[in-house]
Structure 1
Amino acid sequence: MSLRKQLQGTGVALITPFTADLKVDFDALGKVIDFLIDGGVEYLVTLGTTGETPTLDKQEKLDIAHYTTGKIAGRVPLVVGIGGNNTAEILKDLEKYPLDKAIAVLSASPSYNKPSQEGIFQHYKAIAEASPKPVLLYNVPGRTGRNMSAATTLRLAQEVPNIAGMKEASGDFAQCMEILRDMPEDFLLVSGDDAIAMPLIACGMTGVISVAANAFPRQFSDMIRLSLKADFAGAKKLNDTLMEAYDLMFVENNPSGVKAFMAEMGLIKNEVRLPVVPLSDAVHDKVKRYLSKK
């Protein structure tokens, strides 16, 4: 079965909870995983950017990968994030990480280096050839500083056998439409933007890898399922109630926004690692007001 069929609906880019002394809070992480699965999401993504991977050391990443694999395996599909801007190091990580129970590897396009489109192609080609699992591309130019063009995405999808799909977070509808028009039939294309997931599904995407669903798994995944059934009137009603939350989650920083929601809900402590800081008091007060109306 292709990943396009296995990973339809809502995937969640898991946050990494921290204790008050900023160690990884595995008890809270377990609670979050149960909350999300009980909330009806279709699959989980560990060690994505929302998990604050830039400030996790190598051992912490491995520990989280082992923990999430053990906690999630057999319940919902698991995607493991393995990315970076050093291709050679990623190839080493592919050998170290516990991937036997994962369904795919998600790898963000390199940040800071700003490679050419050919450099991006060769980077992913090397990863796909080394990976024991299918690879999902991740285009997020707002973070990486370089957009992966539709032409590069399609070239990877068509020429590299182990490239199985993509999380597209460029926000460029024309680019998304070009990929949807020309991609292989079994290629998985999902939104990386919560706020525009519904219209992108209307264009032909088959789901989303979400930040907001960390806090609102039931409401968000119900909205996505209605969208996939082309019940956009019903999906819009749910999405309308979440639009303010999307804004609050991203107005200052991700994941400080979603962590503020989850802390207020009693799921985690409101802790992030520098250079990320918690939401300002003014925005956090808006989070409280929003939740008081739910």
Structure 2
Amino acid sequence: MAAAAPPHGIWVPVPTFFARKAAADYSPVSPPLDPDTQLSHAVFLANAGVRGLVLLGSTGEAVHVTRAERVALVKHLREGLAAAGFPAFPLMAGTAANSVDETAALLAASKEAGADYGLVLAPSYFAGVTSQEGVVAWFAAVAARSPMPILIYHYPGVSNNLKITPATVRTLAAHPNIVGAKFSHGDISAHCQVALDPAIDHERFALFTGLGQHLFPAVQVGVAGAIDGLAAFYPASMVRLFELASADEMGSKQREEARRIQWAASRAEELVVGCGVVGIKEAVARVCGFGDADGTRLPLLGGLGDQEWKRWEPVMAEMERVEKAVRSGGPLYSSLDGP
């Protein structure tokens, strides 16, 4: 029996929080996990209406976390979310290994700890000589060994520019244990070719964009939602944008609201695209108060710093106005020209 697709909507690729510098067990080389902050941020996002969390993806520094830490993090969030009133909140655990057996083992450990789906980064060490047939065979082998449904994670920026074509996705979408994909690139044509492909059963295969920058237009062509870094610190705005974009009918006021949110989000998302996990952690700390702005593991070193953040303040102030308006249920702005 084929597995079901993840719920459509906004998913958040959460950062992995590490202990603050003031903690007694802090180590500058490998700071330990900070499970309390991890759970507090997760509950904050769940209360904002996001559909699920992606743990241990690129934003979650999967390549910097041990298998034991992975299990502890997933287990802690599963139990903590249940205690906070979210017993069945969807969790997706990422992998970033190149071998089939190691990837399958990571998926099994995450499943046992409480994850519902696996987000599997394409193997990329030998990207220059990896054929599309090799990509298909690799993902099929992982899916066959995985105890939970998996999604294809196509992120050329961290995958040695490995290409995964829409035709390859079509082939993999037929596998009963492959239930979707995340495209973390700006090629909207590729999104269209997969989301609109009549050969794909879109009831059980969901394509998510990794960029809230183009959420509104992407949803118009059948994309199921976003796994979006901006939602880690402005979740209500992205949830509202998805609601507007996916509505069966949209009046002029709703269209204007969607445009207003998308304009602000597209500008703010430049921080996510340009600075990656470093920028996301900086924003989560400064905007929401969770974790340290420079709380990464080596070789990542330090945050953006005050001077660089100051450059982003006007953009974030605009996004903050949108977030507050969405949370209050009040009107945004009557035009795209400003408040």
**C-alpha distance after superposition, 1:244-282 (max 9, x if no partner):** 32112332x211111111111312111112222311443
Q: Which residue of 2 aligns with 1:14?
A: 14
1:237 has 2:283 as partner: no
Q: Does 1:257 align with 2:273?
A: no
CA distance, structure 1, for counterparts of residue 178 and residue 37 of structure 2: 33
Change in 2 beyond 3 A, CA 1:177/1:288: closer
Q: Is it true that 1:184 corresponds to 2:201 in the alignment?
A: yes
Q: Stretches of 4+ moved more than 6 A in 1?
A: none
Displacement, 1:197? 1.8
Identity across matched positions, percent: 26
* Cα distance between partner residues in 1 of 2:116 and 2:237: 25
**In structure 1, C-alpha distance between the alignment counterparts of 2:112 and 2:227, rounded to whole Å:** 19
Give 5+ residue unaligned stretches, structure 1: none
Partner of 2:186: 171
Please tell me the residue identity of whatever aligns with 2:118: V
Contact preservation (8 Å) 1:135, 1:165: yes
Select between 59-68 and 141-150 the one with higher mean Cα deviation.
59-68
Partner of 1:283: 308
State whether structure 2 residue 242 is matched by structure 1 residue 219. no
CA RMSD of aligned residues (A): 2.0
Residue 59 (structure 1) aligned with residue 68 (structure 2): yes
Q: Does 1:248 align with 2:266?
A: no
Q: Does 1:71 align with 2:80?
A: yes
* Counterpart residue type for residue 257 of structure 2: G
Residue type of the alignment partner of 1:172: D
Instruction: Summarize the alignment of residues 150-161 of structure 1 with structure 2, pairs less than 5 Å apart.
Output: 150-158=166-174, 160-161=175-176
Q: Does 1:149 align with 2:165?
A: yes
Gaps of 5+ in 2: 321-339
Pairing 1:208–2:232 present: no
- Correspondence 1:82 to 2:100: no
CA distance in structure 1 between the partners assigned to 2:103 and 2:133 by the alignment: 18
Give the total of aligned pairs: 291
Counterpart Cα distance in 2 of 1:2 and 1:224: 24
Whole-Å Cα distance in 2 between the matches of residues 292 and 13 of structure 1?
22
Give deviations 1:14-44, integer Å, cap 9, x for gaps. 1111222322111111110011011111111
- Cα 1:75–1:236 change in 2 (3 A) is farther
Kindly tell me: are residues 287 and 28 of structure 1, through their superposed partners in 2, closer, same or farther at Cα, counting changes over 3 Å? farther
Find the partner of 1:42 among 22, 41, 51: 51
Contact kept? 2:75, 2:114, Cα under 8 Å = no
Once the 2 structures are TM-superposed, how far is the Cα of residue 291 of structure 1 from its aligned partner? Answer: 4.2
Q: Is 1:25 the counterpart of 2:34 in the alignment?
A: yes
For residue 119 of structure 1, what is the aligned residue in structure 2? Answer: 134
Q: Is the 8 A contact 2:100 2:138 kept in 1?
A: yes
Moved more, 213-222 or 68-77: 68-77
Work out which of the two has the higher radius of gyration on C-alpha atoms and give 1 or 2: 2
Check whether the contact 1:211–1:258 (CA below 8 A) recurs between aligned residues: yes
1:147·1:170 contact (CA, 8 Å) conserved in 2? no
- Asked whether the equivalents of residues 80 and 99 of structure 1 are also in contact (C-alpha less than 8 Å), the reply is no
Query: Hey, what's the Cα distance between the residues in 2 that align with 1:104 and 1:98?
Result: 8
User: Does the 8 Å CA contact 2:153/2:182 hold for their aligned counterparts?
Assistant: yes
Query: Aligned to 1:151, what secondary structure does the other structure show?
Result: helix
TM-score by length of 2: 0.80
Query: What's the secondary structure of 1:254's corresponding residue?
Result: helix
Q: 2:116 aligns with which of 103, 107, 113?
A: 103
SS across alignment from 2:75: helix
